Amino acid sequence: MVLLIVAVVIGALTPSVVRQIEHARVNRAANVLAADFLQVQTMAGRQQAPLRMVVDATLKTVSINLTSGTTLAVRRLGTDTEFKIGTLAASPTSVLVLPNGMTSGQITITVTTSGYSKQVRMSRAGQVRIL
């Protein structure tokens, strides 16, 4: 009888716990991407050269590259990482970050898992926001 009550309570709590974990993963991924935006601005200033930030939606990666094509850093957000992100989308898929912190245009990255999503946006002026 006690085991039945325990099983019912655990069964009732499991969906909400799973949903909370998924939301936490999306929120963490958005915070990490915002930090990556700030990191690419800092790296461009240190390099005294423009850097390109490229989002690959199929591989669920965000990479920081020199304009020559050399990759400096890669952030993986796929299901084989601790983030376990379902969908990664960006508009546009790449942006050039200048040494003064400005960009070639606004970029918005959307992170989604199980219907819950967050957007991380960097404006042309270099302001980073999580929406």
Task: Give pLDDT tens digits for 3-16.
Answer: 767 666 666 666 77
Given a cut of 80, whether residue 1 has pLDDT beyond it is: no
Predicted confidence at residue 8, as pLDDT, reads 64
| pLDDT computed for residue 26 by the predictor | 94
| Residue 13, pLDDT score | 60
What pLDDT is attached to residue 93?
94
CB proximity list for 130: less than 8 A, separation 6 or greater = 30, 31, 34, 118, 119, 120, 121
pLDDT number for residue 59: 94
Quote the Cα angle for 55-60-62, to 5°: 35
| Segment 76-104, tens digit of pLDDT | 998 899 998 999 999 999 999 999 989 99
d(CA 21, CA 1): 30
Cβ neighbourhood burial of 22 (10 Å; 0-12, 13-18, 19+): middle
3-state DSSP assignment of residue 105: coil
CATH fold of 2-130: minor pseudopilin epsh fold (3.55.40)
